[in-house]
């Protein structure tokens, strides 16, 4: 098949075309080129930040500088062990400051947002009721196990979200301990949720609230004090630190009263045999209580490095630049009548750089595959680990089968999945401009290649 000409790409280090905006932060992989199925190569446009953001160059450099000095934490008398312990605990202090935590709040290092929320779920008091909107990512929707969970319908305005929560909390029976779990920014629509107002509603009705900041922390400052949330969870791999660590930060009491998340070394302060042959264990009451085993020092240090880098860059500057990119994408998509952008709160809702959409006449998996194979643009397709929300936005029934892979859908057939483009501090203008141009061209001219399903993915036929 004939190849479509590929325009020359600008370097990712270039200053933004809009002089009011700063240059993107340097990220690892910004000069990677990928082959096109139509021939030639192009600089890869990574537009799947909502899944995992590339490592900041600053983070990579800090990790590389520390790596030769790696040592076991809290367990060694040697110099490298002591250095690593200091670095680990200083990283905890950095995260505490980054989140503007209260005095007495604990910062527990985990593997991810999912791990953090599962940890909190394991620490809930007996008979605690959990309230969560159906709009949440599965990391927030599913960890609550045997707790009594009330799933709230998707609101269509921020005010409706607050009213819905207030009503549910007021009507709970029995009126005992309760936890609200809410996202700060949707991983599907990018829309910001009224966290401060929801926290006030929760506290007014004797409940606590945990903020899933996985999509918020990379884009906006998160202040535990100002938002008045009880806990916050996020992942390093979305905060430009993809080295396998996450954070749960907040009030210590429920965490101190719970059994350790994992039993083992590091979580235990003292272990002794009893006369009857058993074992007595005294567990730590600090964050170490839930950090059993040798911790991921490099992952923790990477998070701290990212926190410092974003703080030093200035969130005002980062937000201004991101809003500039959001406007480019939304204005470009609005010019294509076949594109429908998904939204809960409407076009004017404040949002981060996460936009999902569908295209009339296209299966979303096919469209995403063509963006990758023919333009070197990486986006995501599917239900984004937020199945109930995407079903609601697409207008499908709760029992209607969704399509997460690459189903064999004929042109024009209903597509129960969507396409998501997401970006952030490391995204140059050229990437979003190429994306908008590719969408316009694909809708107008169609794909230049043939695609089929292979191992559950839509891929170019060879």
Residues carrying an active site annotation: 385
Degrees, nearest 5: CA angle 457-460-461: 110
Between strands 279-283 and 268-273, the pairing is antiparallel
Find, among 453, 455, 359, the residue nearest to 411 by Cα.
359
Please report how the helices 315-334 and 297-313 are oriented relative to each other, as an axis angle in degrees rounded to 10: 80
The secondary structure of 42-72 as a DSSP string is: EE-EE-BTTT-PPPBHHHHHHHHHHGGG---
- Nearest-Å Rg of the Cα atoms of the chain is 23
For residue 437 the two structure tokens come to: 């141009």
Phi-psi category of 454—alpha, beta or left, where left has phi over 0 and alpha has psi -120 to 50? beta
Tell me which DSSP letter residue 412 carries.
T
Length of the chain measured in residues? 462
- H or E element at residue 232: strand 231-235
CA distance 74 to 84: 8
């Amino acid at each position: 098949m004939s190849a479509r000409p590929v325009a020359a790409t600008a370097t990712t280090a270039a200053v933004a075309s809009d002089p009011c905006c700063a240059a993107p932060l340097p990220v690892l992989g910004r000069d990677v080129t990928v082959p096109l199925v139509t021939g030639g190569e192009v600089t890869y446009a990574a537009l799947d930040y909502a899944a995992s953001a590339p490592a900041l160059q600053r983070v990579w450099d800090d990790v590389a500088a520390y790596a030769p000095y790696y040592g076991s934490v809290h367990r060694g008398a040697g110099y490298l062990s002591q250095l690593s312990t200091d670095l680990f605990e200083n990283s905890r202090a950095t995260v505490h400051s980054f989140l503007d935590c209260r005095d007495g709040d604990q910062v527990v290092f985990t593997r991810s947002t999912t791990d953090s929320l599962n940890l909190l779920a394991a620490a809930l008091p007996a008979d605690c009721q959990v309230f969560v909107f159906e709009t949440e990512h599965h990391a927030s929707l599913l960890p609550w196990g045997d707790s009594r969970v009330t799933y709230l319908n998707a609101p269509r305005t921020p005010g409706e979200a607050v009213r819905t929560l207030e009503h549910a909390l007021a009507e709970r029976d029995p009126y005992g301990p309760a936890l609200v779990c809410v996202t700060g920014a949707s991983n599907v629509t990018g829309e910001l949720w009224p966290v401060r107002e929801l926290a006030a509603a929760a506290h007014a009705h004797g409940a606590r609230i945990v903020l899933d900041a996985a999509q918020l922390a990379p884009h906006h400052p998160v202040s535990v004090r100002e938002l008045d949330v009880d806990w916050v969870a996020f992942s390093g791999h979305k905060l430009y630190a993809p080295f396998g660590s996450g954070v749960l930060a907040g009030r210590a009491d429920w965490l101190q009263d719970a059994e350790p998340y994992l039993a083992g070394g590091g979580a235990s302060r003292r272990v002794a045999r009893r006369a009857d042959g058993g074992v007595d264990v005294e567990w730590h009451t600090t964050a170490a209580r839930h950090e059993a085993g040798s911790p991921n020092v490099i992952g923790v240090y990477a998070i701290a490095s990212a926190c410092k880098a974003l703080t030093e860059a200035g969130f005002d500057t980062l937000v201004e630049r991101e809003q500039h990119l959001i406007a480019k994408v939304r204005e470009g998509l609005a010019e294509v009548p076949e594109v429908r952008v998904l939204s809960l709160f409407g076009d004017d809702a404040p949002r981060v750089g996460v936009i999902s959409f569908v295209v009339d006449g296209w299966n979303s998996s096919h469209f995403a595959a063509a963006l990758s194979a023919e333009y070197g643009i990486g986006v995501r397709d599917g239900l984004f680990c937020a199945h109930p929300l995407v079903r609601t936005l697409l207008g499908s029934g709760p029992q209607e089968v969704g399509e997460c892979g690459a189903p064999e859908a004929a042109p024009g057939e209903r597509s129960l999945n969507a396409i998501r483009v997401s970006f952030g501090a490391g995204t140059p203008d050229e990437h979003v401009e190429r994306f908008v141009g590719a969408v316009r061209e694909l809708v107008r001219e169609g794909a230049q290649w043939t695609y089929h399903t292979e191992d559950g993915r839509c891929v170019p036929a060879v």
